[in-house]
Structure 1
């Protein structure tokens, strides 16, 4: 069955690959970007099946207009994909508050703004699927990506709450967590700053790694698009879907370390429960 999609950040990277896959599969698409000329070829190739419009995800009116355009053109909105985003590399100390706010505004508030623009429509329809692009950086805090990780961890929490609230209304939520894919995310879309020498072994190492990694990432954007397209057709899609062997490997290793830390500090953690009548000397670190 044909679906109506709206994808933010349709001009580049996985967003572009997904836009191509959606249209090739015969679906309708509202393809959005800040650089509309990059979407012209989609319009020429897919004619009445695609609407290309400008969207600044940080602007509430722009988001509302995009959702309204989807309904006016195609009659409904089945799948919203919040894909637009970017992430620079630099130490927390050396990243200005303006840069922090800019990344969080796009990566987190952009997702919140566009989601909220679509929610009344999907609630009234009684159906819909909201697909949020997070990252492995939304589950693991990589050195050098403080603003990006802060935003993506926010997307994870926001989307998990969203899933609990809108699931009973017939609206599905899936969080996509890509690893490294061969897009320009680590190239033209990213500013890399090695920073001061004190961060040589952390932030500097990450910046150099990103430069060397660009073009060698294991992930294939077309295969990522196919996976998202598949998930969007499921009656019961997953809440989270990591993409890429590096994503799975990193998350499994990180989860194992986290589980071991919980085990190591379990007694201290549960010692903070209130115990009526308990006296001094009940804490694990106190001598008996």
Structure 2
């Protein structure tokens, strides 16, 4: 059965691949992006299925306006995909105050506001599904991506909480966690001026790996979009959808290490209760 989707950040990468696949199978899509020209070819090929709107997720009022228009014009939206975002790439003391603000505003606050704007409509229509694009970086961390990780770990906590709040209304969430993907990720990195003091540190190692191509981008955005399309039909909605074999291995190792550390502190944790 065909569905109606709302997809933010649809101009490139996984978002665009998802929109293309949805249109090909006959679904309707309300796609938002900062420059609508990026999907002009799709709009011409699918004039009855594709609804485009310009949107910068840093503008909360614009988010509310566009979301209202999308739900009003389509009548019902079954699946919301919040995928707008980017990565700030630099050691914590290198990045500027403005860059920190922009990273968190886009990846975290923007995603929060998209979800908040959609909830009343999803609730009134009796339910729906939200796919929030996070990252393997929502469960582990690399040097030089500290602010990006801050945004992803935070949106995961937000979604975990909101999912419990709105479950009685039939609204379900899945956190989508791609590993490094062969998109324009590297070119889209925002980087502050580098401090030479970090050259011979783990931060410097990651910089060189990204610059040389050793930081492997093995994920296929088309296959990842296909997996996202499929998970929207899974009942009940899984809390997370991890994408990429490398991502699976790294997250598995990170969670195993964290669980071992937790178990080692069991005695201390229990010793702090009131007698």
Structure 1 SS opposite 2:176: strand
Equivalent residue number for residue 44 of structure 2: 44
Offset at 1:8?
0.7
Distance 2:45 2:261 in 1: 53
- Return the alpha-carbon distance in structure 2 between the equivalents of residues 22 and 166 of structure 1: 26
TM-score by length of 2: 0.95
State how far apart, in whole Å, the 1-side matches of 2:161 and 2:154 are: 11
Judge which range, 165-174 or 71-80, deviates more. 71-80
Pairing of 1:43-82 with structure 2 (within 5 A): 43-82=43-82
Distance 1:214 1:13 in 2: 20
Write out per-residue CA displacement over residues 231-251 of structure 1, whole angstroms, 9 at most, x where no aligned residue.
112231201111000110011
Is 1:181–1:221's contact at 8 Å kept on the other side of the alignment?
yes
Mapped partners of 2:272, 2:169: distance in 1: 38
Runs of 4+ off more than 4 Å: none
Range with greater deviation from structure 2 (212-221 or 225-234): 212-221
Confirm or deny that 1:87 pairs with 2:119.
Answer: no
**How many residue pairs get matched?**
275
Unaligned segments of structure 1, at least 5 residues: 276-288
CA deviation vs aligned residue, 1:207-246 (integer Å, no higher than 9, x gap): 2222233894111000000000001122312011110001
Alpha-carbon offset, residue 197 of structure 1: 2.1
Gaps of 5+ in 2: none
Q: Does 1:174 align with 2:178?
A: no
Residue by residue over 1:120-155, the C-alpha shift from the partner in whole angstroms, topping out at 9 and shown as x without a partner, is 000101111111011111111221111111111111
Taking structure 1 as reference, are residues 56 and 44 closer, same or farther at Cα in structure 2, changes over 3 Å only? same
Residue in 1 aligned with 2:20? 20
CA RMSD of aligned residues (A): 1.6
| TM-score normalised according to structure 1 size | 0.91
Q: Which residue of 2 aligns with 1:10?
A: 10
Cα displacement string for residues 69-105 of structure 1 (whole angstroms, at most 9, x for unaligned residues): 2223211111111100001211111111211110000
Residue 135 of structure 2 is aligned to residue 135 of structure 1: yes
* Residue number in structure 2 paired with 1:278: none
